[in-house]
Amino acid sequence: MHQPVTVVTGGSRGIGAAICERLAADGHDIVVGYRSDDSSAETVASAVRAAGRRCLTVRLSTADENDVDRLFDLAAQHLGVVTGLVNNAGISGPNGRLADADAEGMRQALEVNVLGYLLCARRAVRDMSRTGGGAIVNISSAAATIGSPGQYVHYAAAKAAVDAMTVGLSKEVATDGIRVNCVAPGTIWTEFHADPERPAKVAANIPMGRAGRPEEIAGAVSWLLSDDAAYATGATLRVAGGM
């Protein structure tokens, strides 16, 4: 059994930061992947170390193949065998009706939200199939099944691709000892939203009457990475207040 070492992309803020802190409390060493905000990444790293776990921060774009290889190379070099990946780094891209969305904005969003997940998962399964297996959790969205009309149909489509990738890859690598699951959050209080007050504004449409907190996603991710979920693969766990 290896010490759990988990790569969390987009680990510097929001849901990813909460995942890093929860996993550290549950005994994982952590690699925080992030795009640009060094100081937020260092704040998360300090929290992980305060929990008694090792932490490495790596600045990268998950949409860049060479960056993704550098992330996993550094992880192995500094922390040893990587046992977990949380594919979490995502962006909303253009907000509004599809008729008004610019192609370049959608291209950038699709590259992070779909290609980035595929590149990180590809490298993870290459490594894990040699090192005794592991677990991947993809952060999707309730948007994948709702479709987000008038808001970001391209983003919802990207998250549906994440759900499909989870199903296909879980079957492809099941006999390599690698589990692949998905968590689909509803609206969560983070800086993700173009309108920062959106979580409050949509609360009335959520059966539980409120948006969620990042920590409420982190617990689901930790469970899916744990041995308690040893027989779960290809699953999408919706954590969306009833949406």
Residue with smaller CB distance to ligand NAP, 44 or 135: 44
Q: Does 90 bind ligand NAP (CB under 6 A)?
A: yes
d(CA 106, CA 118): 17
144 burial level (CB within 10 Å; 0-12, 13-18, 19+): buried
Cα 159 to its chain centre, rounded Å, is 11
Shortest separation between residue 71's beta carbon and ligand NAP, angstroms: 9
Between the CA of residue 139 and those of 160, 208, 219, what are the distances in Å? 11, 21, 13
Q: Does 148 bind ligand NAP (CB under 6 A)?
A: no
Q: Does 141 bind ligand NAP (CB under 6 A)?
A: yes
Q: Which two tokens stand for residue 94?
A: 């253009």
Residue with smaller CB distance to ligand NAP, 79 or 240: 240
Q: Does 14 bind ligand NAP (CB under 6 A)?
A: yes
117 is catalytic: no
Look at residues 4, 68, 2, 5 and name the one whose alpha carbon lies nearest to residue 35: 68
Q: Does 72 bind ligand NAP (CB under 6 A)?
A: no
d(CA 66, CA 69): 5
**Interaction mask 107-136, ligand NAP, x per CB under 6 A:** -----x---x--------------------
Shortest separation between residue 175's beta carbon and ligand NAP, angstroms: 28
- Binding residue for ligand NAP, selected from 84, 94, 185, 241, defined by CB under 6 A: 185
Instruction: For residue 212, give the DSSP letter.
Output: B
d(CA 116, CA 89): 8
Give contact residues for ligand NAP (rule: CB under 6 A).
Answer: 9-10, 12-16, 33-37, 40, 60-63, 88-91, 112, 116, 139, 141, 185, 187-188, 190-192
